[in-house]
Every structure is written in C-alpha cells, then in structure tokens.
Amino acid sequence: MPRLTKSHTFWWIVLSGTLFFIAVSLALAVILWMQLAMAEREFILGFIEVHSIYIFGATVILITGVGFAIDWVYWMYILPMHRIAEETGIIHGVNPGHRIRLKGSGDVVRLANAINTAADRYEELHRSVEERIAVSRVRIEEDKSILSVVLAELPEGVVICTAGGQITLYNQRAQQLLEAPHKLLSADGLHPAGGFIGLGRSVFSVVNKPIITHALKDIPEKLRSGHHDLTSSFVMIARNKRLLQAVTVPILSPLRELSGFVLILTDFTGQMESFRQVESLFESLSMGVRSAIASVRSSVEVILDYPDLPLSKRDEFQRIIHREALSAGAAMDRLTAEYAGSIRSPVPLPRMRLGDFLEAVRNKAEVKAGLSLSGEPAEDHLRISVDGYSMALATVFILQRVGAELGIRAFRWALDKKEHHLGLDFIWAGAPLRLEMLRQWEQQQITVADEGVNASLKEILARHRAELWSQTGGNTSEAYVRILLEAVEPAPVTYPRRQTILATARPVYYDFDLFNQPGQSPGLDDRLLTELVCTVFDTETTGLDIREGDEMVAIGAVRIVNGRLLESECFEQLVKTECIVRQESIRIHGIQPEMLEGQPDIEQVLKMFHRFSEGTILVAHNAAFDMRLLQLQEKRTGIRFDNPVLDTMLLSAVVHPAQRTHDLASIAERLGITVMGRHTALGDAIGTAEIYLKLIPLLAETGIHTLKQAREASRKTYHARVKY
C-alpha cells in the first residue's frame, strides 16, 4: 500500500469531516422532523416547494465557499508547511546554499524567512568550517610530507607500533633492515625468511616477541618509581641475518599507560663483519708473529748452547734471526697501522644495574630451565655494559648445559670486582667442567626452552667483549664457570619529573603590573588570539616570599604557534642558587638542593630563556608572580622581559565569572584537561598552554577575539588586584 503524503492526509481529513457533517446534519433533520406536528410538516414542505430554487442556490453557494476556504487553507498553510519541511531537510542535508522561496500566508512566509536567515548563518558557519578543514588538511598534508621526507632520509629504521605490536607507521629503512630479500626464503621455500613489514601487520613477524616483551616489561615499574628515561636498548639479529641495535621508546597515553612503542633500528652488520675480519686477521698475524719469535728463540738458543759453532753456521742463524725479526716487525707494523683502531666491537651496549641483570638471569633460569639460583645481592652502584636480553639468555644457556652435563640443579653466584671488569661466578657443588666442553658450547646457537637468539654463544660473548672459563673453586668440592663482563660507571643523574599532585601554596596575587608592559603595540593589540605566537612558562622557587630573597630553582616553557601547542619546542632548566630551598617548597616541587649542584646560574638561564621567548606573548598562570620573579633579577642580570603578558587565571575569570576558584587544578578539571607532571616547571607550563588553547574559543563566544580585548577584559575582572 502506498504511503500517504501530508496532502493526501489533509484531503482525507476534509472528506471525513464533510461526511461527518452531512451525517450529523441528516440525523438532526430526521430527529427534528419526527418532533414536528402534521401542520408544521406541511408548512415546511410547502415552503421548500415554493422557494426550492433559492434554497438550492444558497446550498451551492455555501458548499462553494467552504470549498474555496478549504482550498485556501491548503495552498496557503498546508502545502507551504509541507514544502518548508522538505526544503529545510535539503538545506541541512545536502545543500546548505538552498533557500526556501514560496507563496503562502504571512505567518508561513515569516517562518520561511526566519529559516532562510538561519540557513545563511549555517552556510557561513559551514563554509568557515570547510575552509578551516581545508587549511588544516593542507597543513596536515604538509606535515605528513615533511615527516615522510624526514623518515625516508633517516639512516635509522623507525617502526611505530600499538601496544599489541600492530605497525602503524614505518619508513623504508626499517623495511630494508627487517625484511629479507626475496631470494632469501624460509625452509618451506614459500615466504621471505625475514617476514613482512606493513601497516596493520604485526611487528612480531619480523622481530622476536620475547625481545620486545623483555624491553617493555619494566616500564610500569619505572613509571611508578618516577624514572625519567623509559627507553630500553638491545642488540638483535633479525631474521634476515642482519645485526641490529634497537632502541625501544614507549608511547604513553594521557593516563601514563603504555599505548604503543617506537623501534629505532641501526644496522651494525657491516661493522661487525669488518670487526670479525679484523679479529681473524689479527689472529692470523699473531700466529705469524709467534712463529717468527719461535724461530728467533730457537736460533738464539742454538748459538748460546754451541759457542764453538762454525762461523758459517753462526752467520746462517744470525741471518735467520734478522729475517724473522724483520718479518715480525713488519707484521706488527701492518696490524698497528691498518687495524689497531678497529679491534673493539662497534656496537654500543647499554648500561644496566648488575642487580637487575642477576634478577633477570635468576627468573629466566627458574621459569625456562627449572634451575635454582641464589647469591648475595649486588651493590646498587655496580653497572655493567650489556645487552640484557641476549646476555641473560646466554647465561641461562650455559647453566642449563652445565646442569645437563653434570646433573646440577642448584647454583649460587659470587662477584669478583676488578678495576674495569666484573667476574661473575656461578658455583656448584661437584666436579669441574672440562674447558673443551665450554668451547664446544660456544659454537652452538643459543636457545632456552621456547626462546632463542639467532647467534652462537661465541658471537654473544664477542659482542660483549666477555670471557668465559671453568675452574675448580678454593673449596675442592666446588667448581664454577666465570663470565668476565665490562664494568661501567653509573649514568649521570638527571632531573626527574614528579607526577605527584600536591596543593599549591603560591600566592595568587603579586605586585606586578601586567597591563602596562612596554612591549605592547597597536599592531600587536589588533592580532587575533589564534594568530599569536606565545611562550607559556612556569617557575619553581626556593620559597614563596620572593621579596624577601626566595629565588628561582627551575623554569619550564613551551611554544604555541597559530593555535597549536608545539611540545617538541620546549625549554626546561634547573637553576643553581645560593638560597636555602625550603622544605615546604621541596614538598611541592620535589627539587632537592643536591639536584641544583652543577646547574647554570640565574644569569645564564635567563639569557637562554630570553632568546627562547623573544618576540612572543608570555602566557602564565598567576602571571604576576612569575613576572615579578623575573623583574627582581633585572639589576643582577641586565635582562629585561618586556613581552606582552596574558594570565590564564584572569582569562578564566572572564569566561567563568560565576566560578569561585580559578587555580590551575580547578580550571583544568572544568575544561577536561589532565595536567601531567604537576608542580614541575615544564609540566605546569604544558598544562597552562592546554588551558589557554581551551579558553580561546570560550573568549570568542563572549566577543573577545584580539590581544587587546583579552587584556582589557582581564583588567576588569575582580581577580586583577595588582599593586602598582
């Protein structure tokens, strides 16, 4: 059955109403007729008979009038309303430029005009949005092009993955490093041995999953303990036989949870091959030198043992000595001149706490090999230069082989500290291991349970410049294998980012005039807020009374360009000070006095910050405090900040005058912003920048678009209680 339109519905209503009126009229006429007397009936019939022509004419006129009225209502109200509904759908659905043009009653025309006016505004907004989208798309495409060029030109391979290992971005260099050439096939002869790399594919098809898991497993603990460096380095042999150094950089969500990771890959295959060739040549030359020395020694011994040797024989032995000495000297000269600088392995190894390495070995030995491992805890300052995953697996591989060979299930470790090396002994009760057995194992590829690396034990030891041997202990009932590893100094201490959110005690108002900065100019006043280049900054101090001598201990800043927060363009620096850092301030920002040792002084830091912020608008939260802090250093440093200033605290009071609190945490909560690194200078600066960007459209809704309008509105707020 076809669907009824609104016009059909109207005519059905008209027909139904007409029939209902006729039926009611007839019913009333019948009832009235039944109530009349005979004389009355005769009178009515006679009247109708005499005046029938007039009655018929009146009826026709009445029906015609009603018909015209219904038709007028239909054409002036019903049909126009139907068209308005349809054409409004066209405006909102497919064509914002469409307008309603119709004839109808005055009310209907006014409604159509109102809709057209709204449509004009909608089209303007739609066009503005489309233009912004187009501009943003162009910018994105430009950024993508730049990023593509940069990634393409990088000598390192870059792979960006989700937390589950799905590849979301990679460059051509990564594809070259991780994929095997098509001629190198797997055992089935059907697929490349190195697997495929591509968007949406798993990175574990080209990199062993345990290696990545090992690199990422410590990140939650590092986050909880406040570690600043969350990267992890390791060396791997890809499935296409390339030797790669990989750096794993975690990608964190706003809640500081792992949402992905970046692999940065460097190829050391050629360098390692050169290193192996040098090693081989060095060994060959060493054998030649030893042979020459042996010949010289034999000749000298003959001359010494036989003083009455005939002169001809003595001369012959002397010529042998001379020849072999020249040969050995030439060989050593060639070695020194050509290869002395290439003897060490070119692959840099990351620093690792010895205690962490031993714990990794113990866990893997118990879980993967069923071995018991114990020993004294390593001192916290001890560090070794080691690829944690491959060396831990190699160590468990050795212990597993010892256990299988001698029936040993329990080991204990002991440390022998030397100047530049650490001897790591794994001791057991029982007979010693034959050295020949160790040399056999060195030729085997490392595998433990379901894990393995595509390298032999000898290659892993050579890469780490490690030595391995077996020996009987001081107690003749015990024996051990020793792994000699390179010891390194601990990495320098860096300034940690605190994640603790604490209540601030910073005074809300301070004696600095924000509204009469000398750097203000009419041209700058008329610039839109969305077009300004801003430096958003924050400071941390020794205390809260800067008039009584409290000084800056840290400053952090970030730039905003064309309404975009550029976190890559940031400034963060600790400041050396002679003032005592008060405990109440330490509880807020966590900066201990020893962290300031060796840092640049205030003059150096302000010179760097002045260059960083030159030609920009300064933005801060409670900016009067920070600007007064900078102003008090003018005589000492000769550095003056005359940049125009905006205060997010005052701007928040402009757009939300009914709110009682305008501290950083309250504003961030209202605007749905999570401030990471609260009460660190850079963390608060980034949070303030995000708040400022959220305030710009809210200011626009109140008619504030330019820098001058923002400054004037800020001046009028109740919170602008500055002292002059």
Q: What is the CATH number of the domain that holds 332?
A: 1.10.287
Q: Using the predicted structure, report yes or no on whether residue 687 has a pLDDT greater than 80.
A: yes
The kind and range of the H/E element at 148 are helix 106-153
Helix (H, G, I), strand (E, B) or coil at 445: strand
596 or 316, which is more confident: 596
Q: In which residue are the tokens 């076809």 written?
A: 2
- Range name among 174-188, 374-388, 537-551 with the lowest pLDDT average: 174-188
Helix (H, G, I), strand (E, B) or coil at 257: coil
Is residue 507 included in any domain, yes or no? no
Is residue 493 included in any domain, yes or no? no
Output the pLDDT for position 724: 30
Does 443 lie in the same domain as 360?
yes
From 306, 323, 342, the end of a domain falls on 342
pLDDT classification of 644: cutoffs 50, 70, 90: very high
From 342, 377, 393, the end of a domain falls on 342
Sequence-ordered list of residues with C-beta below 8 angstroms from that of 367, at least 6 positions apart, any chain? none
Q: Using the predicted structure, report yes or no on whether residue 324 has a pLDDT greater than 80.
A: no
Output the pLDDT for position 183: 40
Judging by DSSP bridges, how do beta strands 478-488 and 564-574 pair with one another? unpaired
Q: What is the mean pLDDT of the chain?
A: 78
Does 263 lie in the same domain as 278?
no
Does 387 lie in the same domain as 325?
no
CATH number where 245 lies: 3.30.450.20
Is residue 16 included in any domain, yes or no? no
Helix (H, G, I), strand (E, B) or coil at 566: strand
Does 684 lie in the same domain as 601?
yes
Q: How many helices (H) and strands (E) does the chain have?
A: 23, 19
What would the pLDDT profile of 424-483 be if each residue is shown by its tens digit?
889 988 888 888 888 889 889 898 888 888 788 888 888 887 888 787 755 567 888 889
CATH number where 615 lies: 3.30.420.10
Does 579 lie in the same domain as 525?
yes
Q: How far apart are CA 682 and CA 253, in angstroms?
A: 18
Distance of CA 147 to the CA centre of its chain: 15
Is residue 617 included in any domain, yes or no? yes
CATH number where 474 lies: 3.30.565.10
Does 374 lie in the same domain as 307?
no
Number of domains in the chain: 4
CA angle, corner 679, sides to 677 and 683, nearest 5? 40
Does 217 lie in the same domain as 278?
no
Residue 528 is classified by DSSP as B
Is residue 68 included in any domain, yes or no? no
Does 470 lie in the same domain as 328?
no
Q: How far apart are CA 554 and CA 283, in angstroms?
A: 55
Is residue 253 included in any domain, yes or no? yes
pLDDT classification of 651: cutoffs 50, 70, 90: very high
Sequence-ordered list of residues with C-beta below 8 angstroms from that of 621, at least 6 positions apart, any chain? 538, 647, 648, 649, 664, 667, 684, 688, 691
589 is known as an active-site residue: no
Contact assessment for residue 388 and residue 233, using Cβ atoms and an 8 Å cutoff: no
Q: Which of 92, 679, 705, 719 is catalytic?
A: 679
Percent of the chain clearing pLDDT 70 (strictly above): 79
Tell me the C-alpha to C-alpha distance, in Å, between residue 231 and each of 219, 225, 248, 336: 8, 15, 6, 38
Does 234 lie in the same domain as 368?
no
Does 580 lie in the same domain as 704?
yes
Does 189 lie in the same domain as 213?
yes
Q: Using the predicted structure, report yes or no on whether residue 336 has a pLDDT greater than 70.
A: no
| Tokens, residue 149 | 């060029």
What would the pLDDT profile of 197-256 be if each residue is shown by its tens digit?
766 667 887 887 888 888 787 777 777 776 767 788 887 777 667 778 888 888 887 777
From 217, 238, 268, the end of a domain falls on 268
pLDDT classification of 189: cutoffs 50, 70, 90: very low
158 or 670, which is more confident: 158
What would the pLDDT profile of 518-534 be if each residue is shown by its tens digit?
666 777 888 999 989 89
Over its C-alpha atoms, the chain yields an Rg (Å, rounded) of 44
For 162, the domain range is: 154-268
Sequence-ordered list of residues with C-beta below 8 angstroms from that of 460, at least 6 positions apart, any chain? 390, 391, 394, 446, 453, 466
What would the pLDDT profile of 11-21 be if each residue is shown by its tens digit?
677 777 778 87
Does 372 lie in the same domain as 334?
no
Q: How far apart are CA 444 and CA 458, in angstroms?
A: 8
Is residue 12 included in any domain, yes or no? no
Is residue 57 included in any domain, yes or no? no
Output the pLDDT for position 602: 92
- Range name among 313-317, 538-542, 579-583, 664-668 with the lowest pLDDT average: 313-317
Q: How far apart are CA 480 and CA 425, in angstroms?
A: 6
